[in-house]
Chains A and B, each alone.
Chain A
Amino acid sequence: MNVDRRTFIASTAATMLTGTTVTTWAQDRIVKIGMPMDFTRVYTFVTAEYAQGHRDYLTLINDRGGAGGYKILADITDHGNDIPRAIEAYERMKREGAVLIDPLSTPVARALVPRALEDKINMVTTLSGRSDAADGEAFPYVMPLSPNYWTQAGLLIDYFRQQDKDLRGKKIVLVHIDTPFGKEPIPIFQALAGKLGYSLQTFPYAPPGNDQAAIWPQVRRAQPDWIIFWGAGVGQTVALSEAVRNGLKMDRISSSVWLSESDMDVVGKDACKGVIKFEAAAGGRDPKVIQQILSEVVGKGKGAGQEAKVGTSYYNIGVMMAAIAAEGVRKAAEKAPNGPVTGPWLNAGIRSISDFTAEGMLPGITVTSQDHQGGGKGRIARWDGAKFAPQTDWFTANQDLVWSEIKKYSEEFKKSGK
């Protein structure tokens, strides 16, 4: 649309007069979700791709008449990873009737936990936030709905075990960002080292990780059988390019879920052929849902961003979370068709999602009032120079260990704050 100065001024004046109301639909059957996210500080392109996928999926669902008769309206805004801004956005969205909040930021999610629990607003912490929030009894309104970092660690190690048959005497190296987030998976790796007989060596690098030149030669000297690098944002790209520079074998290097096509573009698509990562949702454009989005949303010019990003890893994670939220709304509407739309209403819906695959895009996700992780299933994918190709079927492993860790911290959480 063309905007000249007159329309701009007129509309500015009009909105000033009418107050800061966001577009509202004529019907009453609306579920509002709030997505204050970080577009500008730390997660940047991750958020942009995630939000694009999320918006496109909601457009798809709403154009078809919504989920369970309810349209889902998302209010997306920037919080710049700044706690006061996030709290303002949270409080404003709460006032506007949002029943689900998706901040996509670990620090913000941690800061919002007490408020979400108190206000009974569902807070989605996709692949972020507190890992122990998988315990639905301690955190009834905090919803990871995705495999936490402990599960990801457990699955990666299990994949190595599948490949090498036996990990006894092997050496596994963990290169991680030196923050609480980076150190989070270490207990799982250590516990599994005791169980499976491999030796673990850790190499922390200083945050934010744009210089790791001193670490990787040491990694090479350690002659590891497997390497795992654990970080976020720019640290991941740098880690991978340092690994390439040090001539490490790419097919023995692996990452948590935070690695995408965008990182590969930076490092060099061919240079990092063979790299392994954990996948929570199918990537690429093959899944049926992505095909539907391409034809019904993007094809009709309603896409929320560049078409080239459709089907990238983070885009698909956005689709995944939108799909799970929509399924939660559908379940909630099944239970109580006439609402009223509140946090507890949606909570009951989300907590009764069972074996939801979004038409083959996800492993069967089952959320219960105990398990907010959704089952902890994922798969391993390998970069083949053009895309991440799945190496395994959806599977889960070492959940007993993960859950003992979850319980340990959730018990502590229950005791604290009293």
Chain B
Amino acid sequence: MLYRRAGIRHTSYRHERMLWPLPFDRYLVGTIAAFLIVAPFLIDRLYLVAYLLPWLIWSMAALGLNLLMGGAGQIHLGYGAVMAIGAYSSVHLVRAGVPFEIAMIAGGLASAMIGVIFGFAALRVKTLYLAMSTLAMQYIVDFVIAHVPAISGGTQATIQVPPVRFLGLRIEGDIATYYFALAVCTVVTLFMLNVHRTGFGRALAAVREKDYAAEVIGVSTFKYKLLAFWTSSFIGGVVGAVLVVCYLRSVSPDQFHIDLSVQIVAMVIVGGLGSVLGSFFGAALILFTPIVLNNLVASIAAGAGLSLSSDLRAHIPLMLYGALIVGFLVLEPLGLAKIYDNVRNYFLVWPFRYARK
């Protein structure tokens, strides 16, 4: 009923290759896009700066990693380090007087170059072994940042981000930072939506399914594995730059530790490997469930007049959070995106269930 397929006729190849052939999907995407555009004027400031903004940024990071993990089937446990390289390179360049437009891209390129070096491991090893080699990247980058005062900023190890301009607009305050993140997120999302339909995306899929089979049919695994690392790291670097400029406003090494890498891997897995929508769902779940549960437990405790110890109050949400993640993965191992897909499939033919093949 909702997702009506009746009356859709393709009259050209272009039309047939539309991203969202169903009108309902288009309306849904349009509504969400419209909401995101007017959000700064609709919702409370708190939800803008503390929820929507980080959600956009972390979703971008999850998208970048999803290209590598879901698209090319290569695991990466050092994505936080990739973002750190982008963040530090771009901030240092901006401090040196380079315009942010260039610094952001340069941050991406720096991440891409270093990311590819560690990507070479992927040519020889797979799965858990690759996980270990990328983990090594995380620790090496952490170590280098913390031990080179020229990078970390000396004893205090915190660098303030100078005010930046992008194409003449000052990126500061709540609204400009939000729109900037939204713009970059739109670009990354469009890229990710389309990459599956390009030769590059199909080559990655071939590599993901079986790398030597890909080689047999003429897809160079050497080239495409490295390209996958390159592209994914480039996105990671750009996201790192956006993260520090729009959200953190200062850079210090502990913002990019293994915790961040694991967080993003969790977003990709909980959201759904290879799914664009899943990256957004995963980012929302991993980022906000602890916060929402924490506030909920607090208000329930306050409302019921319970005097919980601070310690217990802090741990109850964590237990619920763990249970929730396990629950979601047991319910649908393919991730949150698949849960949405199940609902959508149900409504595709509702109320004529027998019409499903």
Contact = CB atoms under 8 A, between A and B. Distances in A.
Contact of B294 (A77, A132, A412): A77
A95 B46 contact: yes
A192 interface: no
A14 B254 contact: no
B80 to A, nearest CB: 12
A80 B290 contact: yes
B45 A85 contact: no
A51 B310 contact: yes
A132 B253 CA distance: 18
Contacts of B294: 77-78, 85
Interface residues of A, number: 58
A114 B46 contact: no
A15 B253 CA distance: 40
A20 B295 contact: yes
A162 interface: no
B318 A40 contact: yes
B117 interface: no
A23 interface: yes
B298 interface: yes
B295 A114 contact: no
Interface in A6-36: 7-8, 11-12, 14-15, 18, 20-23
A25 to B, nearest CB: 13
A40 B250 contact: no
Given A15-B302, A180-B155, A187-B155, A417 B252 contact: no
Interface string A385-418: 0000000000000000000000001001100111
Interface string A369-399: 0000000000000000000000000000000
Interface string B279-314: 000000001001100111011101111110111011
Q: Is the interface of B mostly helix, strand, loop or mixed?
A: helix
B321 to A, nearest CB: 10
A23 B254 CA distance: 35
Contacts of B306: 1, 3
Contact of B250 (A51, A114, A412): A114
Nearest to B250: A114
Contact of B314 (A18, A40, A114): A40
Contacts of B291: 84-85, 88-89
Contact of B313 (A11, A78, A87): A78
B160 A22 contact: no
Nearest to B249: A114
Interface stretch (A105-113, A166-174, A217-225, A328-336): A105-113
A110 B252 contact: yes
B162 A416 contact: yes
Given A22-B299, A76-B310, A76-B313, 13 more contacts: A3-B304, A11-B304, A39-B311, A84-B58, A88-B54, A95-B44, A111-B250, A179-B146, A180-B146, A180-B252, A304-B310, A409-B155, A417-B162
Interface of B: 44-46, 49-51, 54, 58, 95, 146, 152, 154-163, 247-250, 252-255, 259, 287, 290-291, 294-296, 298-300, 302-307, 309-311, 313-315, 317-318
Interface of A: 1, 3, 7-8, 11-12, 14-15, 18, 20-23, 39-40, 47-48, 51-52, 55, 76-78, 80, 82-85, 87-89, 91-92, 95, 106-107, 110-111, 113-115, 130-132, 178-180, 183-184, 187, 304-305, 409, 412-413, 416-418
